[in-house]
Structure 1
Amino acid sequence: MPEVTVQMFGLKKSAATRAAERFFKERRVKVHFVDLASKPISKGELARFQQKFGPDGVLDKAGKAYEESGLPYLRLSEEGFLSKLAEFPAALKLPLVRGGKVLAVGEDPESWRKMLESEPD
């Protein structure tokens, strides 16, 4: 079986990010973790998630950071939206996980399992 690697964007203090990290480590999957507190996600990478799940699909509207970011009150172009999310990663539904061609947003073990079944790039 080929070695599977996933790329995960999240915050270390996020419970969902820690759950995803634990899920993959228990299955001996190599995780390339990007801590959004120290390194922002690229606009291109964020656009990939936003295109698949839509603007509402990548936002954590129940979280305090969403309200604090001002996103509920702004009308932004797609470029402006992505820039604002890069500034306020806590407003995202974390973690953002990419494994092969499978993308997952938030705590989504079903999609994580699909990543392990799919062919690597």
Structure 2
Amino acid sequence: MVQIFGTAKSPGTMKALRFFKERGIKPQFVDLQRRAMAPGEIARFVQKFGLSALIDTGSKSYERLAYLRLSDEALIQRLLDEPQLMVQPLLRLGATLTIGWDEAVWRNWYQHQRRVG
């Protein structure tokens, strides 16, 4: 199963949804504007990539944080509360996790699924 975490306003998220739909895969889309990620779910991404990799340093939300010094826990909570601060999309492809646009990994996953499925 493909899970895509992002917002409907994120171009990267929309491209990811289109990528899988074009290949006949109906991903589960979790709109982070409507429902926050579970703490355990975001923890998987933080564990794999590190907290700083999840932060969209080009976002307006990040600019507003520039003067704040936050603990990791407070920053994770801020990511959950303000999804536009997060790099999007976040994808879970079974046990594989990706952040941002990562077409090469998605293609490899898709080709592997076609061979075994």
Describe the shift of the 1:97–1:71 C-alpha distance in structure 2 as closer, same or farther (beyond 3 A): farther
Contact 1:58-1:93 within 8 A present in 2 as well: yes
Corresponding residue of 1:88: 82
Q: Distance in 1 between matches of 2:108 and 2:74?
A: 32
Q: Which residue of 2 aligns with 1:51?
A: 47
Unaligned runs of 5+ in 2: none
Q: Which residues of structure 1 form unaligned runs of 5+?
A: none
**3-state SS in 2 of match to 1:56:** helix
CA contact (8 A) 1:102 1:114 kept: no
Answer yes or no: is 1:73 the counterpart of 2:93. Answer: no
For the residue of structure 1 that corresponds to 2:24, the secondary structure is coil
Which secondary structure does the structure 2 equivalent of 1:83 belong to? helix
Question: What does residue 115 of structure 1 align with?
Answer: 109
Q: Name the amino acid aligned to 1:87.
A: D
User: For the aligned residues, what is the CA RMSD?
Assistant: 1.9
- Aligned-residue offset at 1:21: 0.4
Segments ≥4 residues shifted beyond 3 Å: none
**What percentage of aligned pairs have identical amino acids?**
39
Provide TM-score, normalisation by structure 1.
Answer: 0.85
Distance (Å, rounded) in 2 between the aligned partners of 1:83 and 1:66:
14
Aligned length: 114
Question: CA shift at 1:39, angstroms?
Answer: 0.6
1:103 corresponding residue in structure 2: 97
